[in-house]
Structure 1
Amino acid sequence: MWRKSKPYLLLLPAIATIVLLFFGGLFDGLLKSLGYFPAIGETRLELTAYAEVVQSDGFWESLELTLRVAVLSSILAGILGGILGVSLFLLNEASKTGQARVWHRLFQLPLTIPHLVGGYVVVLLFMQSGLLSKLLASLGVIDELTDFPVLVNDPFGWGIILTYAWKEAPFVSLLIYPVLSRIQRSWRDVSRVFGAEKWNFIREIVLPVMLPSWTIAVFIVFVFTFSAFEVPFLLGVTYPGMLPVYSYQLYTSGTFADRPEALAVNIILAALTIALGLVIYYFSKRWQVWKGWA
């Protein structure tokens, strides 16, 4: 019995620390969002902060921006990551293992770059006085630097979307490539025997095999971008900001009395993330059942 429980006991200190810091902080934030704030003499539990947040126009504009950025970022990263993963699989399937290994390392390079550095790279490249606008102006494509579209610190959030798209695409490919590598080379040979072209093989074999892992990877990217702070803080506009930035502004710009609203925004953000995860999990299970019936 000791041998069986020893690994779990060795992990207990680390697990206890993570649980204490994460769930303890979440529970403390929940209490303070409900008005339990002994530092300012408030010990009653009430929903005043949530009512004020829901009635605020700034919250809904921030939520709209957050959803737009998270959806577009995850979709673009999913498409790019899917293309990268399938391309690596086709290179490996064509017996170019050395070349596939080189490209695999190259595609993983953005994973080593911190998100804050990635955001700064987007600033240098895509701002109106950045490298790309100067290049286009020197080539005569645009007359003035101001003719270049505003892609950084813009209300739509294109700078944030571009950053997360190229930063998270290798992550998506990294998750789906091991699944694709399990496809037997003989499957391709059998498909050739039955006259299937490469596109038919990709559509009928490759895409269904990678779709569950691809869906999970896209959802992970969505959750991450939905609750991320540093890139939206660097590349976003002052108003409206994404929900994490909006919460930070409430927490730092106001008094102690305003902090329950900031924490209420965080709790709502966590609740929305959990709800979206349950929805994705439900439809993923339904899709698997439907595929089994089909």
Structure 2
Amino acid sequence: MPNSLSRHPRLAALALVTPALAMVALFFLLPLLASVVGAFETPEGPGLANFSKAFALYSRDMLFTLAIIGGATLLTGLGAVAIAGYLTLGECPLAVAALRWLYRWPLFIPFIVVGQIARSFLAKNGLMNNALIGAGLLDPLSATGMLDWRGLILAFAWKQIPFVALLVAGAMASLDRGGIEAARNLGASRPRILWEILLPQVAPSLLTALILSFVTMMSVLSVPLMVASQSPTLLTVDIAFRINAYRDYGLANALGMISLAISATVAWFYLRHSLREKR
């Protein structure tokens, strides 16, 4: 058998990729196909009743999901560009080293832990308000919590900024330093160098990282459940509610297909933009 594989490189390559393809088919393609079929199944037969019911009951949550994930993606991009820019252009070696050591920590924290951290930090009696009250910057009677849409955006952005910053900082580090030094010699400020020289060159890496972050945040259940599960809420919470409370897999599958369509639409715009640039 090894001799026959060595004589036929294509068979050897096929033998190597077959286990991976089988795993993808078993754990991704088959569940996806079952969800697509289940979304159109109704007691009266195949139809669009589940989608009509989804839009009738959860159209507000769909808009809320788009707003929260879009806002978190925007904040993630701004934070990642700021961190990557300082890592590339920072003039204080100690600050650059400290930032490089600190900003990656959330990468290794699961989303369920992020939800618990957000609850402990952003609650009315949480760490943030207690610190502000202790410093005399906030009156105890006026303290309010942020376990709402603001907490969702902050929790998502805090988790995803290190991932995007890591990719963007790597892309910036691979650029030729000659243009940066020339801009500095001509008197350009660091924000101008970042905005006009570095950012246009690393835009593809930034957009790729933001698309991946958008899709990741669309699929998270633990953070909205722990931070802001009241109405309106994210579609992942609605899907879990329909399954746990009503065993309504048809409507849950329809909501899942709508989430998939939102993510696919964002990815399509990115691919279209990339193809235009290559042409």
> TM class, shorter-chain normalised?
0.7 to 0.9
CA 1:194/1:8 → structure 2, altered by over 3 Å: closer, same or farther? farther
1:2 aligns with 2:8: yes
Please state if 1:106 is matched with 2:105: no
* CA separation of 1:95 and 1:187: change in aligned 2, threshold 3 A: farther
Aligned equivalents of 1:176, 1:142: Cα separation in 2: 37
8 Å Cα contact 1:69/1:225 also seen in 2: no
Distance 1:105 1:3 in 2: 45
Name 1:51's counterpart in structure 2: 52
| Aligned-pair CA distance for 1:23 | 1.3
Q: How far is 1:132 from its partner?
A: 1.7
Change (3 A) 1:174 1:4: farther
Q: Which whole-Å CA distance do the structure 2 matches of 1:206 and 1:65 have between them?
A: 33
- The one-letter amino acid paired with 1:19 is A
TM-score normalised by length of structure 1: 0.84
Distance 1:86 1:200 in 2: 11
Residue of 238, 260, 270 corresponding to 2:260: 270
Q: Which of the residues 220, 240, 244 maps onto 2:212? A: 220
Closer, same or farther: CA 240–191 of 1 in aligned 2, 3 Å: closer
Instruction: Confirm or deny: 8 A CA contact 2:133 2:140 kept in the other structure.
Output: yes
Determine what percentage of the aligned residue pairs are the same residue: 24
**Structure 1 residue 266, shift from structure 2 partner:** 0.7
Once the 2 structures are TM-superposed, how far is the Cα of residue 30 of structure 1 from its aligned partner? 1.6
The whole-number CA distance in structure 2 between the counterparts of 1:221 and 1:267 is 19
What secondary structure sits across from 1:164 in the alignment? Answer: helix
Q: Could you say what the CA RMSD is over the residues aligned between the two structures, in angstroms?
A: 2.4
The letter for the 2-side match of 1:46 is G
Corresponding residue for 2:135?
139
Cα distance change of structure 1 residues 141 and 30 upon mapping to structure 2, 3 Å threshold: same
In structure 2, the residue matched to 1:39 is none
Give the direction of change, closer, same or farther, for the CA distance of 1:51–1:207 in structure 2 (3 Å limit): same
Deviates more, 1:115-124 or 1:276-285: 276-285
Structure 1 counterpart of 2:167, from 166, 172, 175: 175
Gaps of 5+ in 2: 1-6
Aligned-partner Cα distance in 1 for 2:173–2:205: 13
Report if aligned partners of 1:62, 1:242 keep a CA contact under 8 Å in 2: yes
Q: 2:32 aligns with which of 26, 32, 51?
A: 26
Cα offsets for 1:206-262 (capped at 9, x unmatched) = 11112221122122212221232111111123322210111110111114xx32111
Q: CA deviation at 1:82?
A: 0.7
Contact persistence 2:40–2:49 (CA under 8 A):
yes
Q: TM (normalized to structure 2)?
A: 0.88
Q: Map 1:1-294; keep pairs closer than 5 Å.
A: 2-3=8-9, 5-35=11-41, 42=43, 44-56=45-57, 59-91=58-90, 96=93, 100=96, 102-144=98-140, 147-152=142-147, 154=148, 157-194=149-186, 196-255=188-247, 258-286=248-276, 288=277
| Counterpart secondary structure, 2:206 | helix
Contact 1:70 1:223 in 2 (8 A): no
